[in-house]
Amino acid sequence: MPETVCLALTGASGIAYGFRLLDCLLDSGCRVRLVYSKNALLVARQEMRVNWPADAEGASEFFARRFPGHGGALHIYGNEDWSAPIASGSSVSDAMVVCPCTMGTLAAIAQGLAENLIERAADVTLKERRKLILVPRETPLSMIHLENMLRASKAGAVILPPCPGFYHHPESASDLVDFVVARVLDQLGVPHSLIERWGESHA
């Protein structure tokens, strides 16, 4: 199980996946380094009616209120904060997750760009041979999208589209979110009981 995870929120639809993942990581005892894009703020307002300040200090206060009781386990960084530890391979995060991941962010990662902290942190994760999980939310997929996914996968990233299964008989949108988050946690090696696994009900 990882001790420290970098979690990036970008402006793709599906910000609820990122929030639920953050909640689960903190509850599991992981330290989380959270970074977000400006467009993630817009999507959070649109999809969850959630507003948090754009500056890292204000965001830290917001997330401390929303996810209380985790002490110093959560650290917030702005997307232009090049002094953040996650900008360097000398500061260890065991893994990184971009959830949700825009196609623009995926393309930048696949091409090795590092024009903001999210892209740089992902680049560091790949070069240090640590686990990078990308949760891209777009449909349908163009050839450009698919080629970028293949390029990122060849570089070592895990491509994990948020495609929920239905064998666990979901009864709400939250159940569908939990299915996807469970798959991310499995990739990270973080124990959870979010969903009933295939075959468990027949055991």
| Residues 6+ away with beta carbon under 8 Å from 39 | 10, 11, 102
DSSP letter for each residue of 76-127: EEETT-TTSGGGSTTS--SEEEEEEE-HHHHHHHHTT--SSHHHHHHHHHHH
Euclidean distance between CA atoms 162 and 164, whole angstroms: 6
Using omega within 30 degrees of 0 as the cis cutoff, is the peptide bond preceding 85 cis?
no
- Please tell me the predicted confidence (pLDDT) of residue 155: 98
Point out the residues of the chain with pLDDT beneath 70: 201-203
Say what the pLDDT of residue 201 is: 64
pLDDT of residue 64: 93
Q: Judge residue 117's burial from the number of C-beta atoms within 10 Å of its C-beta, 0-12 exposed, 13-18 middle, 19 or more buried.
A: buried
Global pTM value: 0.96
Cβ proximity of 192 and 29 under 8 Å: no
CATH class for the domain made up of 4-191: alpha beta
Asked if residue 31 lies in contact with residue 4, where contact means CB atoms within 8 angstroms, the answer is yes
- The predicted pLDDT at position 127 comes to 97
Determine the pLDDT at residue 19.
Answer: 98
Nearest to 36 by CA among 71, 93, 74: 74
pLDDT of residue 199: 81
